[in-house]
Each structure stands twice: as structure tokens, then as C-alpha cells.
Amino acid sequence: MIRHRRGMTYDLFIGDRLFSSWSMRGWLMLEKFGLPYKTHMIGLYSGTMAEDMEPLAPARLVPALRLPDGTVVGESLAMAETLAERHPDAGLWPKYAAARATARWLCSEMVSGFTSLRSECPMQLLHCWEDFVPSAGTLADLERIETLWDHARKVSDASSGPLFGEYSLADVFYTPVAARIIGYGLPVSDKNREYCLGLLSDTPVRQWRAMGLTVQYDPFPYAQELRSKPWPVGGASKAKPLDAGPSINANCPYSGKPVSDYLELDGNRWGFCNPFCRDKTVADPEAWPKFMALIN
């Protein structure tokens, strides 16, 4: 029998953060429940995906997870169940049996369903499209999603916040759905729009988006011939990258290493140890508690 060493690190393989909804789910499974991991990027839009995935064969899609013993797990639902099995005290599934069974149902239907919504409204986290007109199929998917969400709240008796009272894998699996609803201005009830905005306002989700914004795309995938407006959470940053210092701080707020890259915010200059640390902070300064603690 294999004995798992809980303290060892998982390897998570993901695609481009602005667009890969499944990668977001895989990352949230680890990030939100405090499980140790290292992230590895797969080139979805650079043309290197097949080559990058070769060491993970026969897994062929992102996300993929490599366990500490080297076992590779493909498919998001299998990853979720594997992590829940290995970390029974982390709370990935709801505590009570009825809620746990219902959460599994919702996640399974997310994996297999909502094809119109997923094909017509690819996830993108840059901005919100205005005047998007959903098809009848997408409207039917939205109605089904709201039915499932309402059922989850009846089972859990949670009138707001996470579907089952405490944050669980059900919220993980529906966060990219929330991004689609908000990003395309899709019609849902006020309480479910509030739920969507709550998911997108969560600090790890803001951080995921900010990291995605460090990559520039030309042309931008999934463009629409529509007007757009800023993303509702962290969408209008006042920070600007700078080519040179000096900065108020001598060490990066994330790594503690000496600074070499800089930004300006509210007339002050702050330093970071590399362009990625700087650019993710430029994208959404308030998403990063360590940076906010530094400037405050």
C-alpha cells in the first residue's frame, strides 16, 4: 500500500490564465485549500502544447496534476477526488453527506454539460463585453445552472456566499462559470449575480487574473465585435511599470530578494525582484496582501 506524505509538493500543469477555465479550477483546488504545489505553464497559444504535455502522457489536456510519488492525474474531476482523498481534513467537499453528494452532482454536471455556454462564451478575464446576445442554448444552460445553484442552497440552507455554506469544490468548479456570466453580461437573478461577483472578488481569483494580465496577446483570443467595459473587480489599476528606481523598499515584498524592477503608485516607487512580480502587482495592486501591507 502506498503511504502518501502530506508535506510533499504537487506539480500542477496549467494553460494561459486569462482563458483556461479548467486550469483555473485546477489551481483553485490547491490554492484555496492550502495544499503545497508548484505551477508549470503549458503553451496553449504558443504552439508548444503537444511538446509540453509529452512528459505527462497519456494526459493531453490542462490541468494535469503530478503527485509527489510521480503519478500523473488528468481531468479536473479526477484531480478533485484524488486531492480530497489524500487530504480528508482540508474540507474540499462539504462536511455533511447530503451536501457532499449534491456538490459532487453539481461538479459532475459542470464537467459534462453546459456546452452552449462554454462554446459561445469562452472564458476571458480581460474585460466585460457589452450588448452580447446569448443564444437559446446558452439561455437554457443558464436556467439549468440557476436551478442547480438554488437546489444546492436548499440542501445547505445557505442563502448567500458559498453554495454549501463553507467554500468547497462546488464553488471551485463554478468560478469560471461566474467569469462567463459577468464577462458576457449574461442574464441571471440578482442573488446569483451577487454570488458570481463574490467568487470573482475572492483574493486568489483576483491574483489568478492579475498573473494572467502579465501576458500580452496580439491578436487577443476570442475577440468580439462589441464594446467592452472594465472588469468589475480590480479592473482599473492606477499602478504603472517603471524602467528604473530608486524605490522606497530595498527588497521584494514576495521573495525578500533585492529589487530590480519597479512600479509607480500614487506618486511612490516600489521595487520587485523580477518583471513578473512587478507586472502582476501593476495589474491589480489590491490583490496582493503582502504588497498592500508594505505600502500601508
Structural domain tally of the chain? 3
Average pLDDT over residues 152-161: 98
Same domain, 78 and 104: no
CATH code for the domain of 115? 1.20.1050
pLDDT beyond 60 at 50: yes
Place of cell 471551485: 172
pLDDT above 80: residue 250: yes
132 domain residue, yes or no: yes
pLDDT of residue 136: 98
Q: Is residue 157 part of a domain?
A: yes
Domain co-membership, 103 together with 123: yes
Residue 225 domain flag: no
Task: Return the percentage of the chain with pLDDT > 70, whole number.
Answer: 98
What average pLDDT does range 176-197 have in this prediction? 98
Cα torsion 170, 173, 177, 182 to 10°: value is 70
* Averaged pLDDT, 69-79: 97
Residue 263 domain boundaries: 237-295
**How high does pLDDT run on average in the chain?**
96
Residue 153 counted as domain residue: yes
Boundary (domain end) residue, out of 186, 207, 228: 207
Tell me: the pLDDT tens digits for 91-149? 999 999 999 999 999 999 999 999 999 999 999 999 999 999 999 999 999 999 999 99
pLDDT at 85 over 50: yes
Would you state the pLDDT for residue 7? 55
Q: What is the pLDDT of residue 47?
A: 84
pLDDT for residue 179:
98
- Residue 177 in domain: yes
Tell me whether residue 67 is in a domain.
yes
pLDDT in tens, 13-32: 999 999 999 999 999 999 99
One domain for residues 102 and 74: no
Do 73 and 116 lie in one domain? The reply is: no
Q: Which pLDDT score, from 0 to 100, does residue 46 have? A: 86
Residues 80 and 104 in one domain: no
User: Are 112 and 186 members of one domain?
Assistant: yes
pLDDT number for residue 3: 36
pLDDT, mean of residues 159-173: 98
Cβ neighbours around 124 below 10 Å, total: 24
**Do the domain assignments include residue 216?**
no
Percent of residues, the chain, with pLDDT higher than 90? 94
For the cut 90, the answer to whether the pLDDT of residue 236 exceeds it is no
- Say which CATH number the domain at 65 has: 3.40.30.10
Q: Mark whether 241 and 165 lie in a shared domain.
A: no
Rounded to an integer, the average pLDDT of 226-231 is 97
Mean predicted confidence (pLDDT) in 195-200: 98
Instruction: State residue 13's pLDDT score.
Output: 98
My answer on whether 202 and 118 are in the same domain is: yes
Work out the average pLDDT over 185-210. 98
The answer to the question of residue 72 being in a domain is: yes
Domain boundary among 86, 118, 140: 86
